[in-house]
Amino acid sequence: MITAYKCKACGQMMYPYHYRCIKCGAREFDKVAPSDSAKLLTYTIIEQLPWGFDERGRVLGVIEFTNKVRAMALIDVDADRDEVKLGMKLSVHWEPVRDDYGEKVYGIVCRPA
């Protein structure tokens, strides 16, 4: 599942893991589970996917969880891209996002809440 890291020195939230705090440089963190809801900060639509993706295109977004953790995520809206709006509320899931030579690769998948 998704784990975020909170700096023990300054409280900065980070995802994914960094060796040092991106704000103060400290090295000790508390593991934090991001909430299962988030909002959409920004997004882009990729029309030309790499070979092997059996889809017309994908919506990729930057999301912010309610505890301020930010992450990249696949925004799953099926064919209805008009549904995608900045600031929209999302439900967050941990699911396969692609198939790498028969092995499922997991990532963050969001759907309109």
* Min CB(30)–Zn ion separation in Å: 11
Burial label for 12, CB within 10 Å (0-12, 13-18, 19+), is middle
User: For Zn ion, which residue of 13, 14, 21, 59 counts as binding (CB under 5 A)?
Assistant: 21
Within 13 Å of residue 14, how many CA atoms lie on the same side as its CB?
22
User: Which of the stretches 13-21, 34-42, 43-51, 69-77 binds Zn ion when contact is defined by CB under 5 A?
Assistant: 13-21
Q: Any contact of residue 10 with Zn ion (CB under 5 A)?
A: yes
Find the part of the chain contacting Zn ion (CB under 5 A) among 4-12, 29-37, 49-57, 63-71. 4-12
Q: Which residues contact 51 (CB under 8 A, 6 or more apart)?
A: none
User: Looking at beta carbons only, is 26 or 41 nearer to Zn ion?
Assistant: 26
CB atoms within 10 A of CB 50: 7
Binding interface with Zn ion (CB under 5 A): 7, 9-10, 12, 21, 23-24, 26
